[in-house]
Amino acid sequence: MNSLNKKFTLVVLILLALSIIDTMIMAVTGSKYIFKAVAGKTAFISGKLAVPVDENQVKRHALLAGNEGQRTPYDEIITYAPQYDFFRLQFLDAKGRLWRGTLESTETAPQGDYVVAIFQKALGPEEKAPKFTIRLFQNEQAYRKSFFSVSERYLGLAPFWVTLVLLPLALYCIFITMRDAGKELSDLQAKGIGPIYKLVKRKTDWEVIFGLGSRHGVNPGDCLVVLNKHLEPVGEILSADVGPESTTATYPLDNPIAPDHFIAIPADEKK
């Protein structure tokens, strides 16, 4: 895997991590009882009622509309108070306690917070009816500045959507990284060179597990070469427990070795 691909993958993973953190910030600092909107624009909103909507009542309104397949006029079932001249809530759907709708305001609507209670008309404005705050802003800039989320503030996008875009890209980059790493390992092993998988410091020596085995021509007791990260020889090591794909060996503590070193079959012994 070349350096450019590694850097790109790292950048994507960092951005994904930041977008997840940003999503968490949005969840913590946001409120399901506050609806924000720019004056003159439509915002999609949703919330919960104190009491579930009666399905029979929904069917009756559908029949009164003349065609049960048409959208039910939920504005006849749900309402809000107090009402204002410069904004309006329209209820599009309701199921159980959950409702969905839109918030529409005039372009001259004054900036500020307006508390409304949302309830079913048949039940009236009970004390337990949920209270929601309509927060109106004069312009897009003021609207964005109200968010703690970086993506909401600077991109105008909910961080969830940023994460949704970055996630498949990150998975693809990880797949490419693993594929290229496997190819690099295969190329090295084809040359009789294996990376160090595990390096453990014991009392008297190093325990070394590396990526060469009997399939690559290694046998117990073979004298192999230790290479540094630049593939330069720095010592010799004897193979001990040889498996098909990896080998375990010991190495003197006073000899130079590190996790980024390699073990190689001597050139004159390569098959």
In the chain the domains, ranked by start, together with CATH numbers, are 31-147 (2.60.40), 191-269 (2.40.30)
Q: pLDDT by residue for the chain (271 residues), tens digit each?
A: 566 778 899 999 999 999 999 999 988 888 899 999 999 999 999 999 998 988 777 777 665 555 544 455 788 889 999 999 999 999 998 899 999 999 999 999 999 999 999 999 888 777 788 999 999 999 999 999 999 999 999 988 889 999 999 999 999 998 988 888 888 888 888 899 999 999 999 988 999 999 999 999 999 999 999 999 999 999 999 999 999 999 999 999 988 899 999 999 997 765 5
Specify whether the backbone of 8 is left (phi greater than 0), alpha (psi in -120 to 50) or beta. alpha
Strand partners, 163: none
From CA 160, how far away is CA 22, in angstroms rounded? 8
* DSSP state letter for 130: P
- How many Cβ atoms are within 10 Å of 87's Cβ, its own excluded? 20
Q: Please tell me the pTM assigned to this model.
A: 0.63
Q: By C-alpha distance, which of 215, 212, 268 is closest to 240?
A: 212
